[in-house]
């Protein structure tokens, strides 16, 4: 990923700055909330409800003041399959109900992650995985928008296609040009407003939000406060079996994207948020969505950056953005219904362009082959399956590559001192991947009666390492020779002591260093402790 430069705190950090920042963010939230609702196959109001509730709860109780949450494309591309299958199971309208029930379970899983303090594990996601994720997400959003160029499953043609394509291109052009003139007006809002005006006042025949919702059985777009309701789906093991995989995926996607955004905002502001608190807030917001009819969501990278650049640093900006969004819901539904679908498609195409990591093409020949492979595999899996599977696979592949490379770095320096004792100075970590190479470093038959393995520059990492040491001790014992382990760190000693049933070694302490002695030769080693002390080699 590209290196992010810190953004200095604004000189005017007053409440007015926070309020203005919140208003700017709210204007940017509206078009994307509506567009992502369409991606998920939901009514625009469901997307707006989701953005409002996600933003309000996380702004008040989240672990990162200044970060903005709402309806997102990463979760929407998973929801579309859930909603579609829900409709096939329960009929028209059932897809939303299954989604709401899934959000309740999603929220519980996310809260559980926060309570168990799992937020820190986002640091285990390599940059190559993140790059593959954003590329895959961009492709998925792009492919989902191609469906808007169909009507009743048939591709548009003739005048309808040219109109749709022209309005989409006009929206994208406006979004490119506006930032070059002013940054005070959100580009997405500008594009939608201009194109909507062209359609309304120009009398252009094209699909609008109202006509699209009506043609897909969604009825009219209502306006009002979200109301409490328990999802109306059968509560059974069969239902749980259907929603649980989706809930797990949505929880993972939401936390991954939220915690990656948190890290980005931390870097921009040179401050530190609370990842576990953010997990709990995200989960609570999704549960609220499940009971009040929103589509849920997670942190939004783009809107969070807009807020930070506009001067938003506290919880005030996020709260203002959410309350302003509520104002749009209560009083602006009629205006939203007139938005052309082409304008929303144009916004999403610009989101795709802004999301895709174009520099990944440049660095493919500059990064290790393993990193390039991870970028490609994560991108492909995100498109084919979902973000959670893709990220998990990317992390596993990266971990295996790391383990393999470190397994090859185990080395041993050998020498025999003036007392005839042979020393093996080990360099590199001893773990499951390096045990085989570690054993090849020893010439048991050729070694003298006394052998010392010096771990001053090494670490015993896991059970495989302990079993390997035990195996080596047995081989020396069979050969009638004594093996000593020296300069073990305190954590290695604790590890061996906890595994005393696996590894037959005892730990003796001496004023100069720790010695772990082969249990088969305890008596002999005790008699020669003075010899070892006299021949100790200083740790490097």
Domains of the chain: 15-148+157-353+362-400 (no CATH), 408-534 (3.30.750.24)
More confident call, 278 vs 539: 278
Q: Do the Cβ atoms of 290 and 100 come closer than 8 Å?
A: yes
pLDDT confidence tier of residue 505, bands split at 50, 70 and 90: very low
Model confidence band, residue 447 (pLDDT cutoffs 50, 70, 90): very high
| pLDDT at 380 > cutoff 50 | yes
Q: Is the pLDDT of residue 411 over 70?
A: yes
Higher pLDDT pick, 8 / 254: 254
pLDDT tens-digit readout, 150-194 = 887 788 888 989 999 999 999 999 989 988 888 777 777 788 889
- What pLDDT does residue 496 have? 64
Instruction: Work out the burial of residue 384: count CB atoms within 10 Å of its CB; fewer than 13 is exposed, 13-18 middle, 19 or more buried.
Output: exposed
Q: Does position 38 have pLDDT exceeding 50, yes or no?
A: yes
pLDDT of residue 408: 84
Sign of CA dihedral 284, 112, 41, 191: positive
pLDDT digits (tens, 9 = 90+) for 43-101: 888 999 999 999 999 999 999 998 999 998 878 888 988 998 888 887 777 889 999 99
Q: Are strands 450-460 and 422-430 parallel, antiparallel or unpaired?
A: parallel
Strand 482-486 relative to strand 514-518, pairing: antiparallel
Average pLDDT over residues 364-381: 89
Nearest to 36 by CA among 21, 25, 48: 48
Average pLDDT score, the chain: 81
- Asked whether residue 195 carries a pLDDT value surpassing 60, the answer given is yes
Average pLDDT, stretch 270-281? 90
Among the listed residues 183, 205, 201, the one whose alpha carbon sits nearest the alpha carbon of residue 193: 201
CB atoms within 10 A of CB 225: 10
Q: Which helix (H) or strand (E) holds 392?
A: helix 387-407
For 37, residues 6+ apart whose C-beta sits below 8 A from its C-beta are 43, 44, 45, 46, 47, 48, 50, 71, 76, 295
Indicate if the pLDDT at residue 109 is higher than 70.
Answer: yes
The residue with greater pLDDT, 470 or 196, is 196
Residue of 364, 396, 386 lying closest to 249 (CA atoms): 386
Mind listing the pLDDT tens digit for each residue in 423-444?
Answer: 999 998 898 889 999 999 999 9
- Tell me what percent of the residues of the chain surpass a pLDDT of 70: 85
Q: In the prediction, which pLDDT does 497 show?
A: 61
């Amino acid at each position: 990923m590209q290196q992010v430069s810190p953004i200095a705190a604004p000189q005017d950090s007053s409440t007015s700055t926070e309020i203005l920042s919140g208003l700017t963010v709210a204007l940017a939230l509206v078009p994307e909330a509506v567009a992502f609702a369409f991606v998920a196959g939901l009514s625009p109001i469901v997307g707006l409800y989701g953005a409002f509730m996600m933003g309000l709860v996380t702004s008040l109780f989240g672990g990162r003041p200044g970060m903005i949450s709402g309806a997102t494309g990463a979760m929407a591309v998973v929801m579309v399959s859930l909603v579609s299958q829900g409709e096939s199971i329960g009929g028209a309208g059932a897809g939303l109900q299954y989604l709401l029930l899934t959000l309740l379970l999603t929220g519980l899983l996310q809260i559980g992650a926060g309570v168990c303090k799992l937020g820190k594990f986002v640091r285990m996601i390599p940059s190559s995985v993140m790059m593959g994720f954003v590329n895959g997400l961009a492709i998925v959003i792009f492919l989902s928008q191609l469906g808007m160029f169909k009507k009743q499953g048939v591709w548009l043609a003739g005048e309808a296609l040219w109109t749709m394509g022209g309005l989409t291109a006009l929206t994208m052009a406006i979004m490119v040009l506006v930032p070059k003139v002013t940054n005070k007006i959100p580009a997405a809002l500008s594009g939608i407003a201009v194109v909507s005006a062209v359609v309304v006042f120009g009398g252009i025949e094209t699909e609008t939000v109202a006509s699209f919702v009506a043609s897909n059985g969604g009825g009219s777009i209502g306006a009002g406060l979200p109301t409490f309701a328990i999802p109306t789906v059968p509560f059974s093991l069969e239902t749980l079996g259907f929603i649980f995989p989706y809930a797990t995926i949505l929880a993972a996607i939401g936390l991954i994207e939220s915690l990656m955004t948190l890290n980005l905002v931390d870097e921009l502001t040179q401050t530190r948020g609370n990842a576990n608190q953010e997990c709990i807030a995200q989960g609570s917001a999704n549960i609220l969505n499940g009971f009040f009819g929103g589509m849920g969501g997670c942190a939004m990278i783009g809107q969070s950056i807009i807020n930070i650049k506009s001067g938003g640093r506290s919880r005030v900006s996020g709260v203002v953005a959410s309350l302003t969004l509520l104002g749009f819901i209560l009083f602006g539904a009629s205006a939203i219904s007139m938005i052309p679908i082409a304008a929303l498609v144009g916004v999403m195409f610009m989101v795709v362009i802004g999301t895709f990591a174009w520099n990944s093409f440049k660095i493919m020949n500059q990064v290790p082959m393993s990193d390039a492979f991870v970028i490609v595999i994560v991108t492909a899996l995100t498109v084919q399956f979902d973000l959670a599977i893709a990220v998990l696979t990317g992390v596993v592949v990266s971990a295996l590559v790391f383990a393999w490379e470190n397994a090859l770095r185990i080395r041993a320096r050998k020498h025999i001192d003036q007392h005839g004792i042979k020393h093996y100075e080990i360099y590199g970590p001893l773990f499951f991947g390096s045990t085989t190479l570690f054993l090849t470093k020893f010439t048991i038959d050729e070694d003298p009666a006394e052998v010392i393995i010096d771990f001053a520059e090494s670490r015993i990492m896991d059970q495989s390492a302990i079993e390997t040491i035990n195996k080596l001790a047995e081989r020396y014992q069979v050969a009638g020779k004594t093996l000593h382990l020296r300069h073990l760190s305190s954590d290695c000693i604790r590890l061996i002591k906890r595994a005393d049933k696996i590894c037959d070694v005892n730990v003796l302490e001496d004023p100069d260093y720790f010695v772990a002695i082969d249990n088969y030769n305890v008596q002999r080693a005790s008699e020669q402790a003075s010899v070892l002390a006299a021949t100790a080699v200083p740790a490097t």
